[in-house]
Amino acid sequence: MTELKNDRYLRALLRQPVDVTPVWMMRQAGRYLPEYKATRAQAGDFMSLCKNPELACEVTLQPLRRFDLDAAILFSDILTVPDAMGLGLYFEAGEGPRFSHPVRSRADVDRLPVPDPEQELGYVMDAVRTIRRGLQGSVPLIGFSGSPWTLATYMVEGGSSKAFTIIKKMMYADPEALHRLLDKLARSVTLYLNAQIRAGAQSVMIFDTWGGALTGRDYLQFSLNYMHKIIDGLQRENEGRRVPVTLFTKGGGQWLEAMAQTGCDALGLDWSTDIADARRRVGDKVALQGNMDPSILYGSAERIEQEVADILAGFGNGEGHVFNLGHGIHQDVPPEHAGAFVEAVHRLSGQYHQ
C-alpha cells in the first residue's frame, strides 16, 4: 500500500504528537457541494450512488480537492446493513429512509440473516478499495457503521422517528426480542467493519445517532453494551498500523466515562457537551473528536474563526483532539464557509502543539 503522506488524523486519535490539530467534517462529501449534486444526478438516486464504487469514490474525493482536510470518509450510508438483511430500503421524497418490511416480532428477528460483507455488501468494500487507490496515500480513509441501537430504531420503526414509540414498546414489552435483534446487528456490524478494515479503511467510526433518546440505564444496556461487543471483535491492526476506533453517541455527553471504558480510542462529541469539561472527565484515556455546532458555518468568517479559537482553547495544550463538527454539515452551508473553518483550525491550532 502507498505510504501515508499526512497521518496527523491517525496520530491524534492515538494521542501522539502532531504539528496542528487535524480536521475533517461529518458529511463532508455531500449536498452542500454543487459537484456532489451533479454526481448524484448522474447516479440517478442516493442508493445508486452508494452502490457505484467509482461514483462513491468521486464524491469521497470531492471535498479533498476543495479543502485541506486531514481525512477522507467513505461515502456510504448507515442503512446499508439493514438493507442487506432484506428489509426493502427505499427513500420517500421529503420523508427520508423507509423499510418495506419492518421488524416487529421475535419471529421477524429470527428470520433476519447476518449479511456476508463481501457478498451482499461487496459494493461497499469495492468502494473502499477504489477510494484507497484514488487517495494515493494523501490522507487516511475512515470507514464507518451505524450502531446496533441506531440501526434497530430504523428497522423496527420502519424509518425515521421522532418519539421512537414502536421500538420502545418492544424494549419494554419484549426486551428479549430487542436483545436478539441487537445481538444479530452487533455480529453483522463487526463483520462489516472488519471487512472495511481489510479492504483498506485506516480508522473506523461507530455512529450512535439515536442513543441520546434513551434513559441512562437503557443506554448502557441496549446501546453501549452492543457497541462494546463490536469494539471487542474488531481487527485493530492492519498494514503495520493500529486501526483507531471512534465512538459517537449524539446526545451522549452524560455517558462519556462509560463510553471511554469500552476500549475505543476516541469519543466523538456533539456541540451540547463542553470540550473542556469532556477532557477533564476522560483525561488521557481517549482522544476527543469535535465539536463545533454545524450551524456556526452560517456565520461570517470572523464568527467561524472565533468559535474555532474557543474550542481549541477549551481543549487546551497537548494531543488527542480531532477537530470536527458536532454533527453533519448542513446542506445549505456555503462551501467557502467550510473552507474558512478548515483553514482556521490549521492556522490557530499550532500553538497548542509546541
What tens digit of pLDDT does each residue of 158-177 get? Answer: 999 999 999 999 999 999 99
77 is an active site residue: yes
- Report the candidate in 18, 61, 53 with the shortest Cα–Cα distance to residue 36: 61
- Say how far apart CA 179 and CA 193 lie, in whole Å: 21
217 is an active site residue: no
Q: Which one from 9, 36, 154, 219 is the annotated catalytic residue?
A: 154
Over 80: is that where the pLDDT of 282 sits? yes
Residue 243 banded pLDDT, cuts 50, 70, 90: very high
> Could you tell me if residue 135 is left (phi over 0), alpha (psi between -120 and 50 degrees) or otherwise beta?
alpha
Contacts within 8 Å (CB) and 24+ apart, 99-107: 99/154, 99/155, 99/158, 99/159, 102/155, 102/156, 102/157, 102/158, 102/166, 103/152, 103/155, 103/156, 103/181, 104/156, 104/166, 104/170, 105/177, 106/174, 106/176, 106/177, 106/180
Residue 95 banded pLDDT, cuts 50, 70, 90: confident
Q: Establish whether 123 is an annotated binding residue.
A: no
Tell me what the mean pLDDT of segment 262-285 comes to: 97
For β-strands 89-92 and 141-146, DSSP reports them as unpaired
What are 60's three cell numbers?
Answer: 469521497
154 is an active site residue: yes
Over 90: is that where the pLDDT of 92 sits? no
- Evaluated on CA atoms 56, 60, 63, 66, the torsion sign reads negative
Using the structure block, give the residue that is written with the C-alpha cell 442508493: 47
Contact 20, 345 (CB under 8 A): yes
pLDDT tens sequence across 100-135: 999 999 999 999 999 999 999 999 999 999 999 999
Residue 154 banded pLDDT, cuts 50, 70, 90: very high
- Say how far apart CA 105 and CA 122 lie, in whole Å: 29
- Say how far apart CA 352 and CA 235 lie, in whole Å: 32
Over 80: is that where the pLDDT of 343 sits? yes
For β-strands 96-99 and 89-92, DSSP reports them as antiparallel
Residue 94 banded pLDDT, cuts 50, 70, 90: confident
Q: Establish whether 29 is an annotated binding residue.
A: yes
Over 80: is that where the pLDDT of 214 sits? yes
241 is an active site residue: no
pLDDT > 70 fraction of the chain, expressed in percent and rounded: 99
pLDDT tens sequence across 7-53: 999 999 999 999 999 999 999 999 999 999 999 999 999 999 999 99
User: Residue 1: what pLDDT?
Assistant: 52
Q: Which one from 8, 9, 27, 310 is the annotated catalytic residue?
A: 27
User: Residue 235: what pLDDT?
Assistant: 98
For β-strands 266-268 and 245-249, DSSP reports them as parallel
Whether the bond between 194 and the residue before it is cis, its omega within 30 degrees of 0, is: no
- Say how far apart CA 347 and CA 304 lie, in whole Å: 13
Q: Which amino acid is at 309?
A: A
31 is an active site residue: yes
Helical (H) or strand (E) element with 43:
helix 34-43
Helical (H) or strand (E) element with 339:
helix 335-349
Q: Establish whether 327 is an annotated binding residue.
A: yes
- Say how far apart CA 135 and CA 261 lie, in whole Å: 33
User: Residue 2: what pLDDT?
Assistant: 66
- Say how far apart CA 243 and CA 264 lie, in whole Å: 10
Helical (H) or strand (E) element with 248:
strand 245-249
Tell me what the mean pLDDT of segment 244-268 comes to: 98
Q: Which one from 8, 9, 11, 31 is the annotated catalytic residue?
A: 31
- Say how far apart CA 63 and CA 74 lie, in whole Å: 12
Q: Which one from 66, 77, 108, 303 is the annotated catalytic residue?
A: 77
CA atoms lying within 13 Å on the CB side of residue 136: 3
pLDDT tens sequence across 65-88: 999 999 999 999 999 999 999 999
User: Residue 96: what pLDDT?
Assistant: 87
Over 90: is that where the pLDDT of 184 sits? yes
- Domains within the chain, CATH numbers bracketed: 8-353 (3.20.20.210)
